[in-house]
Structure 1
Amino acid sequence: MKVSSNPNLRLRNILEREDVAIATFITLKGVRTAQIIAHTGAVIIDCEHGNIDDSDMHDMVAAVSGSGVSPVVRIPSLDGTFMKRALETGAHGIMVPMVNTAKEAELVVKLAKFPPVGIRGHGSSFACLEHGLKTPSEFIAKANQNTITMIQIETASAVENVDEIAQVEGIDLLFIGPNDLSLSLLGYTPANFADTALLQAISNVVASAKRYGKKVGILSTDGEAAKKAKEMFDLIVLNTDVRTLQAWYGKELNIARS
């Protein structure tokens, strides 16, 4: 990753300092929800699995950025239209699920970057605002360098091809989806981190990422798992808003009823 001098690029700056970034998937729509989660760290607005539409995404990116935190958007699939919409909100990064080959990773870069690197078109009046810049022209001049491009490694095919995927220029971070990876490799979910086949696959992804200078991330279910993951990963997503709310309320309700 190239070093950025823009202090507004909070997540990129954390990663460039070689610190471990901790984020949360947010699946519930709403500006207030986004603000609340943003006060815990970086936020990944989940438009793949979350109850978040295009308008919600726009508002939530602005709310997260306005809270002093980097908004990242996970798009539903490798889709150029939605990728453009996500990037034009001013998201500091995108996460693309189910990338299985180097060719697909190259397409992500092509769609996410402005010429001459890619084919992304100019038009958004909003993106510069969330990057702390005054004009679209300023944003375009720096967007290829500043926007974090993440792809998810979450199938057996992706693991098999990970060495080639990790060599694709313009991809910043490989993010392991352990539950889908477990489903693909072993036929069940949630992921069992005691399973040697899953652990070997994760180790292979990490090794390829490090070999070719990419950052690497993973989903963790709780604080203890995240603390352990800090030894190996650059980005840790600490569960989701819904799962955390369910877990906390369920625990407290059991106490109240006992």
Structure 2
Amino acid sequence: MEKQRKSIREKFADGEPTFGMTIYTGVSATVEIAGNWGLDFAFIDAEHTSVDVDQQMEKLILSAKVSGIAPLVRVRGTIEWDIRKALELGADGVIVPQVGTADQARAIVRAAKFPPHGRRGGDGSVRAAGFGGPGFQWSSYTRAQNESTLVIPMAESFEFFDNIDEILEVEGIDVINFGPADYSLSREIPIDYSMSNPEVTARLDELIEKCRKRDIKVMAPCIPPTAENAAKLAAQGVDMIIMGNDVMFLNEGARRAAEAAKSVTGG
């Protein structure tokens, strides 16, 4: 039975920040653990990992639903099939990397939303539609999907910021995810996940300011994932705060284990 808790959109409406973690390992237990600890969303990555939008992805999404955490899938790009399939499998939203133009943003909305907001293809025999079971109606299904699905392009290049006003004017965008590492790579400046670099900080501030004017929310990573850094991001105006990732936590645990072993052996 799914655990019931306030949805991300309900928290948005109440002005509350939301918190999640990225899942790189593709292991369903990590999604459930994040949900069990009360995080709001699981950022399931299919861009940089071996995970595809397939049966493995389905297990990750189901694990999220069991533990009451919202599954958000980062797909490989503005690929219509990936976007539609992730949503049909039950994802609450899609995160799309490397968006640099308004045309790309429009393509994401077109793939994620049913008419009249987009041109998403439909089938009643999918999880998002309750497999066409009791009470299924096309009109209520498409309306509910359009109202609930989160469309989240990523701002992670200088091209995005060159075209920021045109991109943010695209109707149907709910959240922008700021990617400081790839932004830094695009500018050939030192990678700065902590966002202490003045240029990176300025870009995040610009994004927040311009999104606020359009009622678009902002997502960003909290590195290192401390209470102090999370509070700073929330005060800055970040609505969806990514509190690290499973690989980071595994490394931290392994580092502690190795240090403890060395203290015993003197190695």
CA deviation vs aligned residue, 1:81-101 (integer Å, no higher than 9, x gap): 111111111111110111111
TM-score by length of 2: 0.86
Kept in 1: contact 2:151–2:173 (CA 8 A): yes
Pair 1:129–1:38, CA change in 2 (3 A): farther
Give distance in 2, aligned partners of 1:8 and 1:147: 17
Corresponding pairs, count: 250
Candidates 236, 245, 253, aligned match of 2:250 = 245
Q: Which residue of 2 aligns with 1:43?
A: 42
Identity of aligned residues (%): 28
CA deviation vs aligned residue, 1:130-165 (integer Å, no higher than 9, x gap): 9xx963633222111111111100000101211221
Kept in 2: contact 1:127–1:136 (CA 8 A): no
Aligned pairs (5 A) from 1:1-258: 10-40=7-37, 41=39, 42-53=41-52, 54-123=54-123, 124-129=125-130, 135=136, 137=138, 138-191=140-193, 193-221=195-223, 222-223=225-226, 224-231=228-235, 232-258=237-263
The AA in structure 1 aligned to 2:234 is K
Q: Shift of residue 37 of structure 1?
A: 2.4
Kept in 1: contact 2:193–2:221 (CA 8 A): no
CA deviation vs aligned residue, 1:91-139 (integer Å, no higher than 9, x gap): 1111011111122111111111111211111114211449xx9636332
What value does the CA root-mean-square deviation take over the aligned residues?
2.1
The higher radius of gyration belongs to 2
SS where residue 18 of structure 1 aligns? coil
Superposition misfits of 4+ residues, deviation over 4 angstroms: none
Kept in 2: contact 1:174–1:215 (CA 8 A): yes
Give distance in 1, aligned partners of 2:43 and 2:194: 24
Q: Shift of residue 46 of structure 1?
A: 0.6
Bigger shift: residues 47-56 or 142-151: 47-56
Gaps of 5+ in 2: none
TM-score by length of 1: 0.89
